[in-house]
Amino acid sequence: MSVVGFDLGFQSCYVAVARAGGIETIANEYSDRCTPSFVSFGPRNRSIGAAAKSQVVTNCKNTVQGFKRFHGRAFSDPYVQSAKSNLVYDLAQMPSGSTGIKVMYMEEEKVFSIEQVTGMLLTKLKETAESALKKPVADCVISVPSYFTDAERRSVMDAAQIAGLNCLRLMNETTAVTLAYGIYKQDLPAPEEKPRIVVFVDLGHSGYQVSVCAFNKGKLKILATAFDSDLGGKDFDAILVNYFCEEFGKKYKLDVKSKPRALVRLYQECEKLKKLMSANSSDLPLNIECFMNDIDVSGKLNREQSLLSNIGVSLRGELEQKSLKGEDIYAVEIVGGASRIPSIKERISKFFGKELSTTLNADEAVARGCALQCAILSPAFKVREFSITDVVPYSVSIKWNSAAEEGLRYEVFPKNHAAPFSKVLTFYRKEPFTLDAYYNNPKELPYPTATIGQFLIQNVVPQPSGESAKVKVKVRVNVHGVFSVSSASLVEVVKTAEGEEPMETDQAYFNLPGVYCSSLLFQTSAEDAKQEKKNDQPPQAKKPKVKTKTVELPIENNLHWQLSSEELNTFVENEGKMIMQDKLEKERNDAKNNVEEYVYDMRDKLHGVLEKFVNETDRDSFSLKLEDTENWLYEDGEDQQKQVYIDKLAELKDELYDHLDELEVTRVGKQVNDAMVWMNTKMNQQNNQDLTLDPVVKVAEIQAKTKELYSACNPVVSKPKPKVEPPKEEKTENGPVNGQEGTENQPSNPDKAASTGTEQETAENKLPEMDID
């Protein structure tokens, strides 16, 4: 069981794990804790993370970035269409109407769903976690922005599944931050005391989120969230890019936006400039060599001129409604990369009337919070008890049709309602019916569609008396923040005492218009299971003589932008194939690199440590061989199968003693050593002895020792190298000339025919078999 948290950012990702009794943000194979959210597609493999980012200029059309916000959206969605015009890579419509990305992969045009692309990124993050933990990773917690809708959340869950991850919770980014902050605090108010209110602000690359959180000992409760889902560091980059596009247009007559590659480079340079501006208020230069049409460009800008301060930090409605005053707020904590921009800090501070705190690591807090949540959920890990109550980001309503009236509706979860949470609704029906779930306040949504999904409650039948049956429907916002109709049951009246009517015993009762729906009731506790039990058992005082039986009803879900299980299975399978392809390609590349490394290494040694041991002729011929191999690597050997490189290396390493048995060689080494010790001892003894005395060792003993050494070592070191010839079948493949060679009656090359007698041929034919062993 793994304890891992993933911060799936728009621009970059972080991975945190539980290790050695603590939470640790871990580094990737480049020793970097930040992994760029990039996937690059090539003719033979994919690159993901830092390796993909490094291809953003050279392979810009097939290097995908900034795709986080395409989850759960139609291709026709205005956001997608407007983003599309600024992208260097192509988007395409999936058969279901959702958004996909179009790239060249394995020399074919491919359209990948957004779940697949995020799945690829998660595959990389999973591998990073696995190599740090040195064990397989499946269980994890993944972050999403607090403003993500159901469709987006479900889409990220599918991506996790594609990557083979078992996401225990999709956690809102700011909630993860609150946990990373709160769980370590020792001085929180006792549960019955007034909570400590802390505001958390996360300004990332794509979005701006604010959460107001109430802390007591052992628990945190999100009171409200507010956000601008379209304000982040990227907007500051865009301002700088536009400024320089205009500037270079005037100064160098360049139309930068017409050249994707130049535009990508300008974005990179402007991001660097933006970061420098956070620390410097003086003029800062921007220089790019060979920018476009072989022209070098340069410009300069300072913080004041940059217009960065013109970007507003609006905090809509909710926070003001909460009428939070500076004195109620214990602290305003800021995180997220773009929270380092001075003008932004100033505005946020002004809004809350408070100095800002930077207690947490601005980049890693989300991942750390997710890992903490994973540790809390993991039975294998002991963590301090900490309860987390989140909120519903948008009001959720359901509507249903009745024969008599159209469009009855009910708001099940108002905005900022506690989550996760279940409610039980009661309907009186004679037949199956459909509940339509939707976001009832489209103005709150950054999306054109407010649909969540339809839920068909099946197998509803009237009571034996012909009256409507009582149907209890449990609706839920689960730990991932996703709405669902989690169960439905039919309450059958089995026996009624004479003269008594079945009586409604639930605690809350609403009369709603409509023929078939006579009541709708709800309960108000997150402890749904316990509460439901209570509701099922009528209070003693009112006890009617009614016996009931509950029958579970099947529910058919039709969720908006939900991948079908067939699609998902195909994606899981394809991801497996692509992982395998990447692995094979890596092995092939490694084999190639081994050849290259050997060439450089041996060349160094030939003129270095080994120089003394090689005569000039041998050195020249080996140097030549190395040079030939190097040239081959750039020409014919540029793109070969793995085995070709392995063979090439073996050919280069064709050393005299390669064929010797390792054990025998070790034995020879030991014998030589022993002989040397014997010799040195004797020499020492002799040196320390008066020459008038008999020598410590006699010639005959030395000769005997030498003989002993030779007879033990010689058979091993002079063992002939087995002769390896290509198998005979290969010869026949080479065409008519060799074919003629094999013709016994008419040898076309008498010399060769004479030199390769039948006896030798048989011996040669056997050799390759040995080699295979």
How many residues bind to ligand ATP according to rule CB under 6 A?
Answer: 22
Beta bridge mates, 387: 219
| Minimum distance of ligand ATP from residue 66's CB (angstroms) | 9
DSSP 363: T
Nearer to ligand ATP, 235 or 764 (CB): 235
Site string for ligand ATP, 348-377 (x = CB under 6 A): ---------------x--------------
| Minimum distance of Mg ion from residue 41's CB (angstroms) | 25
Tokens encoding 185: 């605090």
- Binders in 320-339 for ligand ATP, by CB under 6 A: 336-338
Our finding on whether 11 is near ligand ATP (CB under 6 A) is: yes
Nearer to ligand ATP, 214 or 367 (CB): 367
Distance of alpha carbon 351 from alpha carbon 322, whole angstroms: 14
Interface residue with ligand ATP, options 72, 207, 299, 369 (CB under 6 A):
207
How many residues bind to Mg ion according to rule CB under 5 A?
Answer: 2
Which of ligand ATP, Mg ion, none sits in contact with 369, Cβ below 5 to 8 A by type?
A: none
Which of ligand ATP, Mg ion, none sits in contact with 341, Cβ below 5 to 8 A by type?
A: ligand ATP
What type of residue is 235?
D
Tokens encoding 752: 């060769």
Distance of alpha carbon 672 from alpha carbon 680, whole angstroms: 12
**Residue span binding Mg ion (CB under 5 A) among the ranges 204-212, 320-328, 416-424, 616-624:** 204-212
Count how many Cα atoms sit within 13 Å of the Cα of residue 72 in the half-sphere of its side chain.
27
Q: Are 213 and 185 in contact (CB under 8 A)?
A: no
Our finding on whether 9 is near Mg ion (CB under 5 A) is: yes
Distance of alpha carbon 652 from alpha carbon 648, whole angstroms: 6
Q: What is the largest CA-CA distance in the chain?
A: 137
| Minimum distance of Mg ion from residue 446's CB (angstroms) | 16
Which of Mg ion, ligand ATP, none sits in contact with 12, Cβ below 5 to 8 A by type?
A: ligand ATP
Interface residue with ligand ATP, options 3, 5, 12, 225 (CB under 6 A):
12
Interface residue with Mg ion, options 42, 119, 195, 204 (CB under 5 A):
204
Q: Are 489 and 552 in contact (CB under 8 A)?
A: yes
Q: Are 427 and 520 in contact (CB under 8 A)?
A: yes
Interface residue with ligand ATP, options 62, 118, 206, 629 (CB under 6 A):
206
| Minimum distance of ligand ATP from residue 203's CB (angstroms) | 7
Nearer to ligand ATP, 195 or 232 (CB): 232
Tokens encoding 631: 């040239």
User: CA triplet 52, 55, 59: central angle to 5 degrees?
Assistant: 120
Interface residue with ligand ATP, options 68, 423, 474, 648 (CB under 6 A):
68
What type of residue is 694?
D
Nearer to ligand ATP, 41 or 208 (CB): 208
**CA distances (Å), origin 570, targets 152, 161, 557:** 20, 12, 21
| Minimum distance of ligand ATP from residue 67's CB (angstroms) | 11
Q: Are 219 and 388 in contact (CB under 8 A)?
A: yes
DSSP 467: S
Our finding on whether 341 is near ligand ATP (CB under 6 A) is: yes
| Minimum distance of ligand ATP from residue 303's CB (angstroms) | 11
- Binders in 275-294 for ligand ATP, by CB under 6 A: 275, 278
**Residue span binding ligand ATP (CB under 6 A) among the ranges 202-210, 368-376, 466-474, 666-674:** 202-210
Interface residue with ligand ATP, options 9, 49, 369, 453 (CB under 6 A):
9
**Residue span binding Mg ion (CB under 5 A) among the ranges 4-12, 346-354, 396-404, 408-416:** 4-12
Which CB contacts under 8 angstroms, 24+ apart, belong to 445-448?
Answer: 445/149, 445/394, 446/79, 446/147, 446/229, 446/230, 447/73, 447/77, 447/79, 447/149, 448/77, 448/78
Interface residue with ligand ATP, options 73, 303, 340, 423 (CB under 6 A):
340
Nearer to Mg ion, 99 or 206 (CB): 206
| Minimum distance of ligand ATP from residue 358's CB (angstroms) | 12
| Cα torsion angle, 478, 374, 365, 205, sign | negative
Residue nearest Mg ion by beta-carbon distance: 204
- In 539-617 the beta strands, taken as DSSP E runs, fall at 546-552, 555-559
Residue (of 228, 232, 311) closest to 271 by Cα position: 232
Nearer to ligand ATP, 10 or 248 (CB): 10
Our finding on whether 217 is near ligand ATP (CB under 6 A) is: no
Our finding on whether 10 is near ligand ATP (CB under 6 A) is: yes
- Binders in 259-288 for Mg ion, by CB under 5 A: none
CB burial of 610-640 (b: ≥16 within 10 Å; e: otherwise) equals eeeebeeeeeeebeeebeebbeebeeebeeb
Nearer to ligand ATP, 283 or 618 (CB): 283
| Minimum distance of Mg ion from residue 8's CB (angstroms) | 8
Distance of alpha carbon 514 from alpha carbon 57, whole angstroms: 62
Site string for ligand ATP, 633-672 (x = CB under 6 A): ----------------------------------------
Tokens encoding 337: 């990369």
**CA distances (Å), origin 118, targets 93, 123, 384:** 17, 9, 32
Nearer to Mg ion, 117 or 425 (CB): 117
**CA distances (Å), origin 660, targets 535, 664, 713, 715, 718:** 82, 7, 12, 11, 9
Nearer to ligand ATP, 271 or 532 (CB): 271
Nearer to ligand ATP, 103 or 177 (CB): 177
Nearer to ligand ATP, 210 or 425 (CB): 210
Q: Are 365 and 176 in contact (CB under 8 A)?
A: yes
DSSP 207: -
Our finding on whether 299 is near Mg ion (CB under 5 A) is: no
Residue nearest ligand ATP by beta-carbon distance: 233
- Residue ranges in 607-641 assigned as alpha helix (H): 616-634
Per the omega criterion (within 30 degrees of 0), is the bond before 539 cis? no
Please return the burial class of 520, using the count of CB atoms within 10 Å of its CB with bins 0-12, 13-18 and 19+: buried
Distance of alpha carbon 368 from alpha carbon 4, whole angstroms: 9
Site string for ligand ATP, 439-468 (x = CB under 6 A): ------------------------------
Helix or strand holding residue 202 (H, E)? strand 196-203
SS3 of 757, please?
A: coil
| Cα torsion angle, 166, 145, 268, 340, sign | negative
- Edge to edge, what strands does the sheet with 63-65 contain? 46-48, 38-41, 63-65
**Residue span binding Mg ion (CB under 5 A) among the ranges 3-11, 63-71, 176-184, 262-270:** 3-11
Our finding on whether 274 is near ligand ATP (CB under 6 A) is: yes
Our finding on whether 65 is near ligand ATP (CB under 6 A) is: no
Q: Which residues bind ligand ATP (CB under 6 A)?
A: 9-12, 68, 204-207, 232-234, 271, 274-275, 278, 336-338, 340-341, 363
* Binding region for Mg ion (CB under 5 A): 9, 204
